[in-house]
Amino acid sequence: MPTAILVGGQWGDEGKGKVIDILASQTDMVIRSQGGNNAGHTVVHDGTTYKFHLIPSGILFPTCQCVIGNGTVLDPRVLMEEIDGLHEKGISTDHLVISDRAHMIMPYHPVFDRLEEEARGDDRLGTTYRGIGPAYADKIRRIGFRIGDLAKPRFLAKKLKFVLRLKNEILRGLYDTELFEEDVILDEYIRLGEQLRPYIRDIFPMVQEALRADSKILLEGAQGALLDLDFGTYPYVTSSSPTAGGALTGSGIPPREVDSTIGVFKAYSTRVGYGPMPTELTGEVGDVMRERGAEYGTTTGRARRVGWFDGAVARYSALLNGVDSIALTKLDVLSEYETIRVGTGYFFRGEHFEFPMSNISHLKHCEPVYEDLPGWMAPIADAKRWEDLPAACQRYVERLGELIGAPVDLISVGASRDETILRKLPY
C-alpha cells in the first residue's frame, strides 16, 4: 500500500512544493485533494523556478500521473493560464487529469470574497481574494458548479439562471454594486470547458486502478493544518480541510490504503493573513528573519508574518494528522542566529497551556514559553549528509523532532532539489 499523504504542518508555505518535487521522481501518481489557487507551491527544478497554484507539483515528471481531485475548487481561467504557462516552458501536461467532480470558482466568487472581507472591516481574515470561501460555501449549499458541468451547457444555463438571481439580489441590495450576466459567464466558461475537456474525467476508476496495481500514490496537501476549517484557528482559516482526513475525502482514497503521513514543517513559523500566531516576531527581528527566508507570498506577494518555531502548534498538528515522518525545510535560514528560540507552550492568566486552545482569544493574548538553543552560526546549504551538519544544528533538528513527535527524515537546506539531506525515504 505505498500511498502517502503529505500535509503542511503549520500555516502553509512550509515548502510542500519542493518536497513533492523530490518525492515525485519515484511516485506514479500525485493527487491534489483540497484548496484552490489560494495555494502557491514553488518548485526550483533544474535551475528554473515554477510556481504552481492548481497543478500538482509532480507535473515536471512525465511518468508521474498528476490528478486534480474532487475536493479542490478550480478557477478555470487560472487553470488554463497555468497549463499554457507550462506549455510555453516546454512542459507537457499530457499526464494531467482533472476530476469532473471538482467545483468551479465562478466569476462572482472572487467578487464576493473581496466584498465580504471589506464588510468585515477590522475583523477581516486576510484571504487571498481568490474566491475560495464563497466557492466552498456554494458547494455546501448545493448551488455550486462542478467542472464536469461544462460539458452540459443546457443544465449549466438553467442552473446559472437560478443561482445568478440569488447572487445578483445580494450584489444589488446589500452591496449596491455591478451585477453578473448569465450569457457572458456561459460564453466564457463553455469556451474554457472546450479547452479543458481533454483533461476532465471521472477519476474514481483510475485511482482505483492505481490502488489495485499497487502504484505509488502521493496526496499533495495545500495550506497547512492550522488553516483547517475545523481544527485551525477559526475563523482565521481557509475553507477546506488541509489535514490527512481532508486528503482522503478530496481524492476518494479509503483510509486503509494509506501507508504513511508526511508532515512538512518549516524550521521556524510563518503565517499570511490575520489570526493568532503566538511566537510571532515583529519589528526589526522579524524583518531580518523575513528577508533571510525571502518570506513573501507566492500567490499574493504579501509579506509573510514570521516567528520562532512553535513546538506546541507542531505537536498538535502532528497528532491531528498522524504524522509518521517529518520533512523539515528552510533550516539554512536560521544559520546566522547565535541563539534560536523554540516555543514549547503558552502562559495565559498565570496558567500553562498547550494546543489545542480552541478559545481563539486566549491564543491571541497568551505568552509563549521558550526554550533557547544554541545556533550554529555557519552556512549549511552545501550539506549533503546528516554528518555534514554542525553539531548544534543536529541538536536543533533533533529537538524539533522530539517536540513534534516523529523522525525527521528529510532536511531541506535550500530551495533547489540538490539542497536536501535525505536520511530516509519518507515512504
Q: Does position 243 bind ligand IMO by CB under 6 A?
A: no
Buried b vs exposed e over 163-175: b needs ≥16 C-beta within 10 Å?
Answer: bbeebbeebeeee
**Stretches 74-82, 165-173, 221-229, 404-412: which one binds ligand IMO (CB under 6 A)?**
221-229
Q: How far apart are CB 12 and Mg ion at their closest, in Å?
A: 6
Within a 10 A sphere around the Cβ of 387, how many other Cβ atoms?
8
Size of the site for ligand IMO (CB under 6 A): 24
Nearer to Mg ion, 196 or 314 (CB): 314
Binding partner of residue 132 among Mg ion, ligand IMO, ligand GDP, none, CB under 5 to 8 Å per kind?
ligand IMO
Size of the site for ligand GDP (CB under 6 A): 21
C-alpha cell at 204: 474514481
Q: Does position 70 bind ligand GDP by CB under 6 A?
A: no
Binding mask 104-123 for ligand IMO (x = CB under 6 A): --------------------
**Stretches 78-86, 218-226, 323-331, 410-418: which one binds ligand IMO (CB under 6 A)?**
218-226
**What separation, in Å, do the N-terminal and C-terminal C-alpha atoms of the chain show?**
10
- Of 67, 63, 69, 68, residue with least CA distance to 28: 63
Binding partner of residue 131 among Mg ion, ligand GDP, ligand IMO, none, CB under 5 to 8 Å per kind?
none
Among 9, 36, 40, 307, which residue interacts with ligand GDP (rule: CB under 6 A)? Answer: 40
Binding partner of residue 149 among ligand GDP, ligand IMO, Mg ion, none, CB under 5 to 8 Å per kind?
none
**Stretches 63-71, 155-163, 220-228, 334-342: which one binds ligand IMO (CB under 6 A)?**
220-228
Among 6, 9, 10, 13, which residue interacts with ligand IMO (rule: CB under 6 A)? Answer: 13
State which of positions 274-303 bind Mg ion (CB under 5 A). Answer: 298
Q: Cα-Cα-Cα-Cα dihedral of 23, 29, 35, 41, to 10°?
A: 30
3-state secondary structure the chain: CCEEEEEECCCCCCCHHHHHHHHHCCCCEEEECCECCCCCEEEEECCEEEEECCCCCCCCCCCCEEEECCCEEECHHHHHHHHHHHHHCCCCCCCEEEECCCEECCCHHHHHHHHHHHHHHHHCCCCCCCCHHHHHHHHHHCCCCEHHHHHCHHHHHHHHHHHHHHHHHHHHHCCCCCCCCHHHHHHHHHHHHHHHHHHEECCHHHHHHHHHCCCCEEEECCCCHHHCCCCCCCCCCCCCCCCHHHHHHCCCCCHHHEEEEEEEEECCEEECCCCCCCCECCHHHHHHHHHHCCCECCCCCCECEEECEEHHHHHHHHHHHCCCEEEEECHHHHCCCCEEEEEEEEEECCEEECCCCCCHHHHHHCEEEEEEEECCCCCCCCCCCHHHCCHHHHHHHHHHHHHHCCCEEEEECCCECCCEEECCCCC
- The one catalytic residue among 41, 45, 53, 109: 41
Q: How far apart are CB 396 and ligand GDP at their closest, in Å?
A: 14
53 is catalytic: no
Binding partner of residue 130 among ligand IMO, Mg ion, ligand GDP, none, CB under 5 to 8 Å per kind?
ligand IMO
- In Å, how far are 90, 189, 253, 348 from 192, measured between CA atoms? 21, 5, 29, 53
Binding partner of residue 22 among ligand GDP, Mg ion, ligand IMO, none, CB under 5 to 8 Å per kind?
none
**Stretches 6-14, 109-117, 172-180, 402-410: which one binds ligand GDP (CB under 6 A)?**
6-14
State which of positions 384-423 bind ligand GDP (CB under 6 A). Answer: 412-415
Nearer to ligand GDP, 207 or 415 (CB): 415
Q: How far apart are CB 49 and ligand IMO at their closest, in Å?
A: 14
State which of positions 128-167 bind ligand IMO (CB under 6 A). Answer: 128, 130, 132-133
Whether the CB-CB separation of 135 and 160 falls below 8 Å is answered with no
Q: How far apart are CA 104 and CA 138, in angstroms?
A: 10
Nearer to ligand GDP, 10 or 239 (CB): 10
Q: How far apart are CB 220 and ligand GDP at their closest, in Å?
A: 9
352 is catalytic: no
Binding partner of residue 252 among Mg ion, ligand GDP, ligand IMO, none, CB under 5 to 8 Å per kind?
none
Binding partner of residue 227 among ligand GDP, Mg ion, ligand IMO, none, CB under 5 to 8 Å per kind?
ligand IMO
Would you name the residues annotated as active-site residues?
A: 13, 41
- Binding residues for ligand GDP (CB under 6 A): 8, 12-18, 40-42, 44, 298, 329-330, 332-333, 412-415
- Binding residues for ligand IMO (CB under 6 A): 8, 11-13, 38-41, 125-128, 130, 132-133, 222-224, 227, 238-239, 272-273, 298
